[in-house]
Structure 1
Amino acid sequence: MTLLTLAVALFLSEASTRTGRYGAALTFAALLAEVAGLPFVQDRPVLDMALQIAGSASLPLFWLFARSWFDDDFRPGVTQMVWTLGYLGVSAAVIDGERGMHAPLQPLDGLLYLAGIALTIDALRYAWQNRASDLVEARRRARVAFVVIVTMVFLWTIGAEIVGRAFGGFAFAGVVGAIGMLLGIFGLALLLFGLRHRDMFAPVVPESALPLMISASPPPPPDLDEPLARALDMAMMQDRLYREPDLTIGAIAARLDVPEYRVRRLVNGRFGYRNISDYLNGLRVTEVCAALADPDQAEVPILTIAMDAGFGSLAVFNRSFKARQGETPSAYRRRHLETRPLSD
């Protein structure tokens, strides 16, 4: 419990970010689950049930935490709300029926396990994918460790609980599950503490690709990366390298003839971007905006303009454009073309 309390404090220190709030809620729910196992709580059925239901929120909160930590564009929507409330509803039904981990398996328990497995796998998927495009070095290193720790703990605790309930070894399952949970919490705490980074959870989403933005991390030494910054600027602004839809950090580094880590350090430390897609899409949106406001291109389809700028799909283009401009591409074009004669 002491470790969980410290973890709550750690995440509360990052409470200004969405990930920090999810992390604090996650660890607090896990703390309530531990409190529910205390003797004085079990003597109070109503309190015990309330704490168990609150503790069961740990898994969907863990899922939301992982999604928001490893995906800068994540915003919880209706789908995430349905999954979370559905999981809590099934958990409440299981708890209300007094079918805890010390009872034989029932069909509803199987549904709960399947939902938990689906949420965990989805969290691991978001932690693993797009590792190469992550510009926050501390978070990029954390992805692999996160996947390893969570997979081991999940297989350990869930496997022990299922086996124990299937074969009647409840005491053994409880001890093994508690050990696995303790090791998992300890491992994640060490991971987060060892990789403390003031920009780890920062929800930085640049509104424009043109201004330089200094992140919270110290910028790289000017004498090392100033020439690289000029070379990158030339490749993007003059050669329009960003127009390549499948452009990666590796391809940019190869074009500039430097190691990938120097490109990551420059784009994150100097320009303030947290992943390479944000950086490239910002440049693409800037080009699209100029084209949409150009009367000579008033008849050119918006999709054609977006594809020419390097966007690989309409969905990514619409999302990126609206996130930066606060309106749809068609509304942006209409507003600028309608007001153009007044400014001439």
Structure 2
Amino acid sequence: MSLILGLFEAQMLVLAAAIIGRGGIALRSLGALLIVLCGMLTPFAIGYAGFYDRWPWLSFAPFAVPLAMGPLLYAHLNALIFNRSIPRWHAVLPVIQFAYQAVAFCLPLPVRGAFDREVQRPWLDPILAVLLLASMVGYVVVGLRALRQHQSWLLARRSDLAAARRVRAALIAYAAIVAARTGYLIADALIVPLSYLDMFGFYVVLAIVGNYLAIEGWRQADARPQPIVESVRGDWRQVAAEWMDRIEQHGWWRDPDLDLAELARRLGTNTAYLSRGLNEGLGLGFAEAINGLRVEHVAARLRDGSDGDILTLAIDAGFGSKATFNRVFKNRFGVTPSAYRRVSTDKNDAERPDLQRTA
């Protein structure tokens, strides 16, 4: 057991050092994550070899800081997706865990033994298990949200999705650790208490996933990242046009509950960026842009000779009230919807002059 974990750990450490040496936020955070995974393997690798029996003073040595896994994964993904660091508060719990272990390690050996029996195992270990699982699941969730945003941003620019696939692979690998950890916790709590030796399978999974991340990180160290970046002022018109194409293509304007925040989420951006893009790229606010697509749809139905009720057409297009629809329609075409229908039905397409639109 020790040999298997030790070999995995040695390879991870070598690749972690090589990855960190390549520089960059994404690679440094990945290298740090690999070192943390090695630290989690160390107590078991040396424990299965009998180190703790021979040298009891090694107990509480701060090798493993599992609460650092989630923040470091998020730091890696954040660097790949947004090309930025994460806030420092993400490091609070890992630092506390490491400091607690370091202080306990400095206590006299008899005190450490008594503390482990009376406090650590019955009280702190269950709390740490729940906290660790919550941290792992939480960072998977925020990672998935960031991944969806990244994919939407790349699709909006007709970009290659290789960068998003790289992010997804790292997230899936970490999710495998979360799934294995959850399974062992459930087995320990509901089926039978697990011993030190029973946890070997989980640490094999941890070692395999860690080596996968290390190998892929080294292999793709020179891959060109495609982080989400804001366009410069001169690009707003193109970006806004791409957004409007996607909104029209997916028919999102039909949703009567669509608001700025929901549209930003679907486009893979944020509300400030979306609002600025519409204003500077098209000279329109959110409501003007969406209602413009809606009245265009209704007008097209009227030109095609639809005999449906105008209010029904307006509601189908996403308008919430008749008054809003009439106001927007008249501002857009210069006439009421009823007048527009009369003109459309009284004249043939070849004879009917185009109606003059107003801004």
Tell me which interval the TM-score lies in, with the shorter structure as reference length: 0.5 to 0.7
Contact preservation (8 Å) 2:11, 2:211: yes
- Hey, what does 1:59 align to over in structure 2? 70
- Hey, what does 2:6 align to over in structure 1? none
- Hey, what does 2:81 align to over in structure 1? 70
Provide the C-alpha distance between the structure 2 equivalents of 1:311 and 1:9, rounded to a whole number of angstroms. Answer: 50
Provide the C-alpha distance between the structure 2 equivalents of 1:241 and 1:58, rounded to a whole number of angstroms. Answer: 40
- Hey, what does 1:241 align to over in structure 2? 238
Provide the C-alpha distance between the structure 2 equivalents of 1:184 and 1:154, rounded to a whole number of angstroms. Answer: 11
Could you report, residue by residue, the CA deviation over 1:51-72 in whole angstroms, capped at 9, with x for unpaired residues?
3354642332222222222233
- Hey, what does 2:150 align to over in structure 1? 130
Could you report, residue by residue, the CA deviation over 1:214-241 in whole angstroms, capped at 9, with x for unpaired residues?
xxxxxxxxxxxxxxxxxxxxxx69xx33
Provide the C-alpha distance between the structure 1 equivalents of 2:183 and 2:201, rounded to a whole number of angstroms. Answer: 10
Aligned length: 236
Q: Which amino acid aligns with 1:241?
A: Q
The CA RMSD measured in Å over matched residues stands at 4.5
Provide the C-alpha distance between the structure 2 equivalents of 1:121 and 1:204, rounded to a whole number of angstroms. Answer: 19
Q: Which amino acid aligns with 1:119?
A: Y
- Hey, what does 2:38 align to over in structure 1? 31
| Pair 1:153–1:32, CA change in 2 (3 A) | closer
Which of 172, 183, 187 is the equivalent residue of 1:148? 172
* Gap runs ≥5 in structure 1: 211-235, 255-274, 286-303, 313-344
| Pair 1:161–1:120, CA change in 2 (3 A) | same
Q: Which amino acid aligns with 1:243?
A: A
Which of 108, 113, 118 is the equivalent residue of 2:133? 113
| Pair 1:311–1:205, CA change in 2 (3 A) | farther
From the two aligned structures, give the one with the greater helix fraction.
Answer: 2
Q: Which amino acid aligns with 2:27?
A: G
Provide the C-alpha distance between the structure 2 equivalents of 1:30 and 1:49, rounded to a whole number of angstroms. Answer: 17
- Hey, what does 1:188 align to over in structure 2? 213
Q: Which amino acid aligns with 1:159?
A: G
Provide the C-alpha distance between the structure 2 equivalents of 1:87 and 1:180, rounded to a whole number of angstroms. Answer: 22
Provide the C-alpha distance between the structure 2 equivalents of 1:7 and 1:253, rounded to a whole number of angstroms. Answer: 45
Q: Which amino acid aligns with 1:66?
A: L
Contact preservation (8 Å) 1:103, 1:165: no
| Pair 1:54–1:87, CA change in 2 (3 A) | closer
Q: Which amino acid aligns with 1:126?
A: A
Could you report, residue by residue, the CA deviation over 1:271-329 in whole angstroms, capped at 9, with x for unpaired residues?
xxxx9979xx7xx78xxxxxxxxxxxxxxxxxx955856797xxxxxxxxxxxxxxxxx
| Pair 1:139–1:34, CA change in 2 (3 A) | same
Contact preservation (8 Å) 1:8, 1:28: yes
Contact preservation (8 Å) 1:8, 1:24: yes
| Pair 1:108–1:184, CA change in 2 (3 A) | closer
- Hey, what does 1:6 align to over in structure 2? 14
* Gap runs ≥5 in structure 2: 1-8, 105-114, 251-266, 287-359
SS at match of 2:224: coil
Contact preservation (8 Å) 2:65, 2:97: no
Contact preservation (8 Å) 1:245, 1:310: no
Shift of 1:8: 0.5
- Hey, what does 1:294 align to over in structure 2? none
Q: Which amino acid aligns with 2:20?
A: L
| Pair 1:47–1:161, CA change in 2 (3 A) | same
Could you report, residue by residue, the CA deviation over 1:126-161 in whole angstroms, capped at 9, with x for unpaired residues?
234331323464322223333333222320134224
| Pair 1:89–1:14, CA change in 2 (3 A) | same
**Stretch moving more, 37-46 or 110-119:** 37-46
Provide the C-alpha distance between the structure 2 equivalents of 1:10 and 1:209, rounded to a whole number of angstroms. Answer: 39
| Pair 1:88–1:113, CA change in 2 (3 A) | farther
Provide the C-alpha distance between the structure 1 equivalents of 2:63 and 2:182, rounded to a whole number of angstroms. Answer: 17
Could you report, residue by residue, the CA deviation over 1:12-58 in whole angstroms, capped at 9, with x for unpaired residues?
2431x111221121112222333333258646677653433546423
> If the length of structure 1 is used for normalisation, what is the TM-score?
0.52
**Stretch moving more, 103-112 or 5-14:** 103-112
Q: Which amino acid aligns with 1:75?
A: S
Q: Which of structures 1 and 2 has the bigger CA Rg? A: 2
Higher relative contact order (CA 8 A, sep 6+): 2
- Hey, what does 1:176 align to over in structure 2? 201
Provide the C-alpha distance between the structure 1 equivalents of 2:150 and 2:29, rounded to a whole number of angstroms. Answer: 21
> If the length of structure 2 is used for normalisation, what is the TM-score?
0.50
Percent identity, aligned pairs only, is: 13
